[in-house]
Amino acid sequence: MSFCLRLFAALVALVAASAPTLAQERRLPNSLAEVKLSYAPVVQRVAPAVVNVYAAKTVQNRNPLLDDPIFRRFFGGPGGMPQQQQRSLGSGVLVDPSGLIVTNNHVIEGADEVKVSLADKREFEAELVLKDSRTDLAILRIKGARERFPALEFGNSDELQVGDVVLAIGNPFGVGQTVTHGIVSALARTQVGITDYQFFIQTDAAINPGNSGGALVDLSGKLAGINTAIFSRSGGSQGVGFAIPANMVRVVVASAKGGGSAVQRPWLGAKLQAVTADIADSMGLKRPAGALVANLTAQSPAARAGLKSGDLIVTVDGQPVDDPNAFDYRFATKPLGGTAQLGVLRAGKEIKVAVALQIAPEGQRDEIVLRSRSPLQGAKVANIGPALAEQMRVDPAMEGVVILEVPSGSAAAQYGFQPGDMLLAVNNEKIAKTEDIDRLTKAGGRVWRFTILRGGQQITAMFSG
């Protein structure tokens, strides 16, 4: 046999030997059950617990001519101002058979009327039970509920892994309940900039406008997260969606079930900062990770536990902490009472520190509404205390007064003041208590100079008139 024939025979034998392997990689289904592999059983179980949320609020179309008293006299006062009803659309998830629904706060913010539509097309009016702007979550209750509703069970979002298959269920663009599927693309996203608690599940399951407040579920049918936002250059899904982890949602729902008007979370009482590459080098770390203790509030849980400035928090109850946002999430999802074990690097050695899980004390808030004629007229202000500082995300170690509310149409709103602004001085006089700002605004003046702290930056504003 020639060499060519021997080579050909060898190739035929090689192909024949590999044929079973090739057939195993590309094969027809062996049974009808394999042909019918589907997510339908999961969808059928969870879809009845996902609702559409319709929120409406009435706004007045302000006509500047009505500021003229003569024009207003002949053409109608405030009662005759044209009104317009604005509507927003979102999704929600039934989390308790009694009719308790979780959705996004931005879906129902400022609404005068909220309705929910169930998967079976029935509509109900809903009332607001609790809202938490820090997590962008709100809890609704179906009014006059006289039945038991289908509800989703919470999963443990800390057990999710990148690559897990998830389903997103909601009402995109108002077309009706829609199911999309994808995977967990990333976990612990902390640089998204949506809420105070930056710790999101990222998924490539298609999420679009109207999906906000809807369910992200795992293949066991448990709630993995609440779909909240997308990253998009077009306004539609581009495969980058974000969901609030179920373990954070569970905390807000528990507060609502407990009858609270606000979510109560553990208070650390320390200011944390991120670890930069330079800080990591100076501490001998292999990589920049952890939450660095910058300073502590006296008599806080952190101070009483023995934490010190310069300590680096690397774990909470064994869970890794990559940055301050990750710490905030880990700590905020701990139940009140008992302690949390913090893994801390101090002088190159890791130690364990037990921190009490308790809420921040209120202090003397002394809330007042400023009614004297000034650029701050109409604003509600309060003294800074531990609880308020935690709520408003300002430094409790600072002395000053914080703006709680700025009503629309008030002088304070027209001059650009915002909730969360910290008033440090008026006309170069230091502000320590609400009584100081009340006294100074009552004194009046033609020129006003305000020193405020906004978003960590100190600003000086000058007004006249």
58-113: per-residue pLDDT in tens?
655 555 544 555 444 444 444 445 555 567 788 999 999 999 999 999 898 888 89
Domain co-membership, 348 together with 390: no
Sign of the CA dihedral with 170 first, then 176, 177, and 180 last: negative
- What pLDDT, in 10s, does the model give residues 157-183? 989 999 999 999 998 888 888 899 999
Active-site residue, selected from the candidate residues 88, 91, 132, 136: 136
Active-site residue, selected from the candidate residues 88, 106, 237, 421: 106
Q: What is the mean pLDDT of residues 379-395?
A: 79
Q: pLDDT at residue 151 above 90?
A: yes
Tell me the percentage of the chain whose pLDDT exceeds 90: 36
Establish if 134 belongs to a structural domain.
Answer: yes
Domain co-membership, 404 together with 456: yes
- Position 24 confidence tier, pLDDT thresholds 50, 70, 90: very low
Q: pLDDT at residue 45 above 90?
A: yes
Give the residue, 420 or 277, on which the prediction is more confident: 277
Q: How far apart are CA 383 and CA 365, in angstroms?
A: 5
> Scanning the structure block, which residue is given the tokens 């195993």?
24
Q: For the chain, what is the mean pLDDT?
A: 83
- Res 61: pLDDT: 53
Domain co-membership, 80 together with 171: no
Q: Among this protein's residues, is 136 annotated catalytic?
A: yes
Active-site residue, selected from the candidate residues 212, 255, 300, 410: 212
Q: Where are the alpha helices (DSSP H) in 26-128?
A: 32-35, 40-46, 69-75, 105-108
Domain co-membership, 292 together with 326: yes
Q: Among this protein's residues, is 408 annotated catalytic?
A: no
**Is residue 326 left, alpha or beta, with left meaning phi > 0 and alpha meaning psi from -120 to 50?**
alpha
Other C-beta atoms within 10 Å of 350: how many?
11
Q: What is the mean pLDDT of residues 285-312?
A: 92
- Domains identified in the chain, total number: 4
Q: Among this protein's residues, is 309 annotated catalytic?
A: no
Domain co-membership, 249 together with 275: no
Q: What does the block give as tokens for 122?
A: 């029935």
Q: What is the CATH number of the domain that holds 234?
A: 2.40.10.10
Alpha-carbon 320 to chain mean position: 21
Domain that holds residue 198: 157-257
- What's the predicted TM-score (pTM) here? 0.76
